[in-house]
Structure 1
Amino acid sequence: MKFEVGEKIPDFKLSDHNGEELSLADFEGKNILLSFHPLAWTRVCRMQMESLEDNHQVFKENNTVPLGLSVDPVPAKKAWAEELGFENLKLLSDFWPHGAFASELGIFLEKKGISGRVNILVDDQGEVLWSKVYDMHDLPDIEEVLKEVKANR
């Protein structure tokens, strides 16, 4: 799946790890990095989300809010965020209907019941600024992500 620059993604309403429902409208005037990872509690997914948390200030300085998304339920996301000591990163649950948002984007892997590993940078209207699809076992290069965030702020 390739997301074309300028293409619009559908709006979403997903709960974060604290149970707060979020949508595009909640990020008016900001860019959003939708960072999909297959499952919480796995090594590469942990490293992917930690890189977002560790670079919170860089995202903030560049008018971008990173969001971690997977099909895990809210309680699992909450426990995982607490285990990792996250203070800034919001982890969104695409649990029910299972993988509905990932399916709308064409990145839900039906046979596995999970999303692919994908980064999609959008503006507050959902217009794609940059995207990249990764091999399931590959850790996204945070320097490449930050370069795109800075270029599109």
Structure 2
Amino acid sequence: MTEEIRVGETIQDFRLRDQKREEMHLYDLKGKKVLLSFHPLAWTQVCAQQMKSLEENHELFTELNTVPLGISVDPIPSKKAWARELGVTHIKFLSDFWPHGEVARAYGIFKEKEGVSERANIIIDENQRVIFFKKYPGHELPDIKEITEILRK
């Protein structure tokens, strides 16, 4: 298993497609903060709450010069249907489906046995340096207030 990413490191770049099949290149977001919000699987209760909290706070993220991205190993068609089901229109849901979990593996948060990522939040600053990294138990909803407090600093 790859070593976990650490605060202070420059994040490894990636290219993933979102629920609209549009390619997202992480390094294109230089100059903005980015919240990488990893969740194990779409269509599950805590993951749905996690992604809805991003959508509900999208204006605040914009004010804080931050791009929130939801990431899981689900395929693009599933991400598209799930975003529609949740009423998510502002947040990009990225598919780390193929190569399976490649981004989660690169950051050391892929669970081999289950074939999914950990539930985790990674915040990077405008220069792609990690300023926050936290894993959560699978059943625990990440605290959005904790995230926004970090972003305000």
TM class by shorter-chain length? over 0.9
Q: Which residue of 1 aligns with 2:151?
A: 149
- Greater shift in the superposed pair: 121-130 or 87-96: 121-130
**Gaps spanning 5+ residues in structure 1: where?**
none
SS at match of 2:68: strand
Cα displacement string for residues 61-88 of structure 1 (whole angstroms, at most 9, x for unaligned residues): 0000000000000000000001111110
Shift of 1:124: 4.1
Is it true that 1:94 corresponds to 2:119 in the alignment? Answer: no
Cα displacement string for residues 131-152 of structure 1 (whole angstroms, at most 9, x for unaligned residues): 111111110011111111111x
Matches of 1:120 and 1:7 in 2, distance apart?
11
Query: Aligned pairs, how many?
Result: 151
* TM-score, reference length from structure 2: 0.94
Is it true that 1:13 corresponds to 2:48 in the alignment? Answer: no
**Any runs of at least 4 consecutive aligned residues in structure 1 with deviations exceeding 4 A, and if so which?**
none
**Contact between 2:10 and 2:128, CA under 8 Å: does it hold in 1?**
yes
Q: What's the Cα RMSD here?
A: 1.2
Is it true that 1:126 corresponds to 2:128 in the alignment? Answer: yes
* Aligned mate of 1:28, from 30, 49, 52: 30
Percent identity of paired positions between Structure 1 and Structure 2: 56
* TM-score, reference length from structure 1: 0.94
Matches of 2:25 and 2:58 in 1, distance apart?
20
Shift of 1:99: 0.3
- Greater shift in the superposed pair: 70-79 or 5-14: 5-14
